[in-house]
């Protein structure tokens, strides 16, 4: 069997590893299946527990495990209650991938353990809850990591590496465009409502607000947004309620240094050639990356000589998920933090800030005004 080398990211022969990290997954929906496949690309990692109150999700996970070479479903315990899973004592690290609105209650239980945490985005759906978890994480000894994995998309990571090395000079303007498909169906259609998701600009766009802070290495001071629900879910109805999640919008963010960033989201543009396009302009050059093409273009102001770089991703890594390899590379660093005691690369504060920026954007959209980040502090 082939495994992806945890140091180089390249595929090679499977090593014999005695120190195996045992993973437990809470919330066995679509993202959990991606985590399952990526965990088994790591050296010295296995899944020993899966938890979900929905039996069909547990069946789905068992089926996924049976399809993974090297996985042994007979050694996995299945639970309908996360507290029973915690009491069983069969895991070393947790992946929390349950619906957004459940994170706060799950975390209040799991953070009483000594288990390492990777919590899927968004950290929480309200600012109060996100602040509570950020405060708890300050005195939490195990690794606490928030799953904002878009930083780890290989072409994006390479673009960021080049930007931080000075390839554009002083960073001034950042533009992120995601033109994609609508929200996918979920159990109970929970993702059709703001109260469950935190709203589209929290649920979906926390990734991009995190990227803004990470790329610019700066903090936001004010946000302006406009958006709404134009196309998606308009004819749907659940228990007499119509979905209220937005399906498009623009957000503009001002940073403390004076740098500006913008987000262009459209969730009824599944025919797009590239789902994400990110452009960064500095005082000496411009960098542009397109996903899934994986092409980075460097465009100096003088001389005008654009140069392209293509970032390749191993096919097995791509096949393990729908986020262009980012889940695998995030798992590599999460595992390194567990084994070597290195700090988490994406902290509870990063998770809280991405939620806060999304909430500020939605307030701006509804109230049609600039929102100072200090208003939500």
Q: What is the location of CATH 3.30.360.10 in the chain? A: 150-312+347-376
CA angle 97, 9, 278 (to 5 degrees): 65
CATH class of residue range 150-312+347-376: alpha beta
pLDDT at 322: 87
Pair 169, 285: CB distance under 8 Å: yes
142-168 as b/e, with b when 16 or more CB fall inside 10 Å?
A: bbbbbbbbbbbbbbbbbbbebbeeebb
Percent of the chain scoring above 70 in pLDDT: 95
Report, as an integer, the average pLDDT of 152-157: 97
pLDDT per residue as tens digits for the range 9-60: 344 333 333 489 999 999 999 999 999 999 999 999 999 999 999 999 999 9
Residue 12: its pLDDT value, please?
Answer: 37
225 contacts 261 by C-beta, under 8 angstroms: no
d(CA 293, CA 331): 23
* Mean pLDDT within 99-112: 98
CATH topology of domain 2-147: Rossmann fold (3.40.50)
Question: In this predicted structure, what is the pLDDT of residue 323?
Answer: 92
Q: Give 124's pLDDT tier (boundaries 50, 70, 90).
A: very high
Helix runs in 142-267, H state only: 154-164, 194-197, 200-203, 206-216
pLDDT tens-place string over residues 314-367:
999 999 998 999 999 999 999 999 999 999 999 999 999 999 999 999 999 999
Residue 226 scores a pLDDT above 50:
yes
The dihedral through the CA atoms of 76, 81, 85, 87 has a sign that is negative
What's the average model confidence in pLDDT over 89-102? 98
Sequence-distant (≥ 6) Cβ neighbours of residue 287 within 8 angstroms: 159, 162, 163, 167, 168, 279, 280, 296, 297, 298, 299
Listed in order, the ranges of the chain carrying CATH 3.40.50.720 are: 2-147
Which of 59-68, 143-152, 259-268, 314-323 is least confident? Answer: 314-323
What the block records as the tokens of 110 is 């799991």
Average pLDDT over residues 289-310: 96
Q: Residue 304, Cβ neighbours under 10 Å: how many?
A: 7
Provide φ and ψ at 281, rounded to 5°: -120, 130
Mean pLDDT of all residues in the chain? Answer: 94
Q: Is 277 helix (H, G, I), strand (E, B) or coil?
A: strand
Tell me how far apart the alpha carbons of residues 216 and 257 are, in angstroms, rounded to a whole number. 9
Q: Is the pLDDT of residue 104 over 90?
A: yes
- Residue 122: cis peptide before it, omega within 30 degrees of 0: yes
- Examine residue 111 and say whether the peptide bond preceding it is cis (omega within 30 degrees of 0): no
What is the model's pLDDT at position 262?
A: 98
Average pLDDT over residues 107-120: 98
At 14 the pLDDT is 31
Tell me the whole-structure pTM to 2 decimals.
0.93
Percentage of the chain with pLDDT > 90? 94
What is the per-residue pLDDT for 19? 83
Q: Which single residue is written with the structure tokens 């799991």?
A: 110
Q: For 184-191, which contacts have Cβ atoms below 8 Å and span 24 or more sequence positions?
A: 184/30, 186/29, 186/30, 186/99, 187/29, 187/54, 187/56, 187/57, 189/236, 189/238, 189/243, 190/99, 190/101, 191/99, 191/100, 191/245
Backbone angles phi, psi at 16, to 5 degrees: -85, 120
Strand partners, 177: 264, 277
Phi, psi for residue 134 in degrees, rounded to 5: -60, -40
What pLDDT does 377 receive?
Answer: 78
Phi then psi for 14, rounded to 5 degrees?
Answer: -70, 130
Rounded CA-CA distance 44/335 in Å is 9
- Do the beta carbons of residue 262 and residue 253 sit within 8 Å? yes
Residue 7 has pLDDT above 80, yes or no: no
């Amino acid at each position: 069997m082939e495994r992806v080398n945890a140091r180089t990211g390249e595929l090679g022969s499977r090593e014999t590893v005695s120190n195996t990290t045992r993973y437990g997954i809470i919330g066995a929906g679509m993202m959990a299946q991606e985590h399952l496949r990526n965990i088994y690309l790591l050296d010295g990692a296995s899944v020993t527990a899966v938890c979900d109150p929905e039996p069909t999700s547990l069946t789905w996970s068992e089926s996924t495990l049976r399809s993974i070479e090297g996985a042994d479903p007979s050694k996995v315990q299945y639970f309908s209650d996360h507290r029973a899973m915690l009491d069983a004592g069969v895991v070393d690290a947790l992946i929390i991938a349950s619906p957004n609105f459940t994170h706060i209650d799950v975390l209040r239980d799991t953070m009483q353990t000594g288990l390492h945490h990777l919590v899927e985005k968004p950290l929480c759906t309200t600012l109060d809850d996100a602040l509570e978890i950020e405060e708890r994480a300050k005195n939490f000894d195990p690794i606490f990591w928030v799953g904002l994995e878009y930083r780890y998309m290989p072409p994006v990571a390479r673009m960021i590496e080049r930007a931080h090395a000075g390839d554009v000079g002083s960073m001034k303007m950042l533009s992120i465009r995601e033109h994609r498909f609508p929200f996918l169906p979920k159990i109970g259609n929970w993702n059709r409502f703001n109260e469950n998701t935190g709203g589209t600009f929290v649920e979906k766009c926390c990734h991009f607000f995190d990227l803004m802070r990470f790329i610019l290495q700066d903090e936001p001071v004010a946000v302006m947004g406009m958006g709404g629900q134009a196309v998606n879910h308009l004819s749907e109805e659940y228990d007499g309620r119509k979905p209220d999640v937005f399906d498009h919008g623009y957000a503009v963010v001002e940073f403390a240094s004076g740098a500006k960033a913008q987000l262009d989201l459209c969730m009824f543009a599944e025919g797009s050639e590239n789902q994400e396009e990110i452009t960064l302009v500095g005082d000496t050059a411009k960098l542009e990356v397109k996903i899934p093409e994986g092409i980075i273009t460097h465009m100096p102001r003088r001389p005008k000589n654009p140069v392209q770089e293509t970032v390749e991703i191993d096919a097995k890594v791509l096949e393990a998920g729908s986020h262009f390899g980012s889940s695998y590379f995030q798992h590599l660093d999460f595992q390194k933090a567990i084994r070597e005691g290195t700090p988490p690369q994406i902290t509870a504060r990063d998770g809280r800030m991405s939620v806060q920026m999304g909430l500020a954007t939605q307030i701006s959209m509804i109230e049609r005004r600039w929102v100072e980040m200090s208003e939500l502090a």
